[in-house]
Amino acid sequence: MKRIKTFSELHEAFKDFKLPSYWLFRGQSDSSWGLHPKCSRPPYCLRDDQEMFTLWKRNAIELCDNPPDDDWHWLALAQHHGLSTRLLDWSSNPLVAAFFACKDNDDNDGAIFAYLGSKYIMPQSFKQASPWDVKDPSIFYPFIKNRRVHNQRGSFTITSDTKTCFYDQVQDNERIDKIIIDKAYKQELMFELNFYGINWGTLYPDLDGHSKLMNWYVEYGDENFNGA
Domain assignment present for residue 20? The answer is yes
* 155: exposed, middle or buried (Cβ count in 10 Å: 0-12, 13-18, 19+): buried
Amino acid at 185: Y
Percent share of the chain, pLDDT over 70? 96
Domain assignment present for residue 117? The answer is yes
Domain assignment present for residue 228? The answer is no
Lowest mean pLDDT among 72-81, 131-140, 143-152, 156-165: 143-152
This prediction has a pTM of 0.91
H, E, C per residue of 114-141: EEECCCECCCCHHHHCCHHHCCCCEEEC
Domain assignment present for residue 192? The answer is no
Angle between helices 186-195 and 7-14 (to 10 degrees): 70
Tell me: pLDDT of 52 over 90.
Answer: yes
Domain assignment present for residue 70? The answer is yes
What are the pLDDT digits (tens) for 173-217?
A: 999 999 999 999 999 999 999 999 999 999 988 888 889 898 888
Domain assignment present for residue 157? The answer is yes
What's the domain range around 105?
Answer: 2-187
When pLDDT is averaged across residues 69-88 and rounded to a whole number, the result is 92
What are the pLDDT digits (tens) for 7-44?
A: 999 999 999 999 999 999 999 999 999 999 999 999 99
Domain assignment present for residue 227? The answer is no
Q: Give me the residues paired with residue 155 across strands.
A: 90
Residue-level pLDDT at 144: 72
Number of domains composing the chain: 1
Q: Are 88 and 166 in contact (CB under 8 A)?
A: yes
